[in-house]
Structure 1
């Protein structure tokens, strides 16, 4: 769970460039934002700092006047990456109303910006480094942002799971149509996906991995 920013950090976040999310501050201030997951340091010179999706949501919450991060109570990845935790399907039941939709849309737009800022060619149609090291969450975000419903204790939906392959995830869906729709979504999001059958259970699933070119 991400810790909320301090008052000083909140001022830096609120003052970020409205278009790019570029931040200004002292080295210590920017390092503190990176540590809490609200900023990342661009890998190329001059190594400027920019808002992560979590930082962008903090800024958006200020505009709405509630003063808190919309996902402050949602499960999140470790604070050093700060990227929104999409629902992978399973026990993590939660509301699926308008607030959740806003959070997911904001996280997806933030991830596209992260692609633009960190892919060497600025491409947004291809997963970035964070996605390649957080495969399950990244695939789940692509699915949830496109309107697919994650499975929970009361609802059938998609489930994204890690696999023994270091660069691939398994995606399960309630039926063949939902599985094909998930494959289409992932391919539009810059992944490559193929259907396979589990030898023991005969269950169909997708094996999906981030596209590199």
Structure 2
């Protein structure tokens, strides 16, 4: 790609589903994004369009300082706002209950579909490129979708917390309950991650170091 997307194309990219990368726009806009390598047309009906890894990178790159602020992305279809998995420790906790359960289930199914479409062999048991560039969000979605309880905003509260680490393609998962920590490891491994338990030398606290599996 030699030229940046047009303003109209940028709005289509920014409004893509945050998990699956599904796009909505005119036929002309979507075809132009496909030609640029920023989107692909799914071969199966209804032949929806989705962001490629390059399209996701364009969506996440910072705007030039002189560019006007982009409009807020459109809400995910069928929800009250853009979905985000709970990483644990949020100050503003999303509403719980059946509606949240449906949102999490839908996001997880969407992620499995994204794996099927973007992994070269169509595998759904192995993380895809989107997950490798959204490690914390991807690991948190796997945990929340499996029913694990995230920590609330209070310090020292029970529940999992997913955090970035200095290591490439690795997140730390902390959970004060030892049995719950092992259960988190089992869930991540089932979801296509490698997870090992480690001990912090200074505190003696156990935690998981998890990375997306490649094979």
Change (3 A) 1:56 1:71: closer
- Consecutive aligned runs of 4 or more in structure 1 exceeding 6 Å deviation: 21-24
1:188 to 2:190 alignment: yes
Secondary structure at 2:153's aligned position in 1?
coil
Is the Cα–Cα contact under 8 Å of residues 188 and 194 in structure 2 kept in the other structure?
Answer: yes
Q: Out of 197, 205, 208, which is 2:207 matched to?
A: 205
Partner of 1:50: 49
Change (3 A) 1:116 1:166: same
d(CA) in 1 for partners of 2:111, 2:151: 23
Partner of 2:60: none
TM-score by length of structure 2 reads 0.67
- Supply the RMSD in Å over aligned alpha carbons: 3.1
Change (3 A) 1:98 1:182: same
**1:132-147 residue pairs with structure 2 within 5 A?**
132-147=132-147
Q: Which runs of 5+ in 1 are unaligned?
A: 1-8, 14-20, 33-39, 62-69, 75-83
Aligned residues between the structures: 165
TM-score by length of structure 1 reads 0.68
Secondary structure at 1:194's aligned position in 2?
strand
Partner of 1:28: 29
Is the Cα–Cα contact under 8 Å of residues 41 and 49 in structure 1 kept in the other structure?
Answer: no
How big is the shift at 1:41?
A: 1.9
Partner of 1:177: 179
The structure that has the greater radius of gyration is 2
How big is the shift at 1:57?
A: 5.0
Change (3 A) 1:26 1:50: closer
d(CA) in 2 for partners of 1:43, 1:130: 17
d(CA) in 1 for partners of 2:137, 2:121: 24
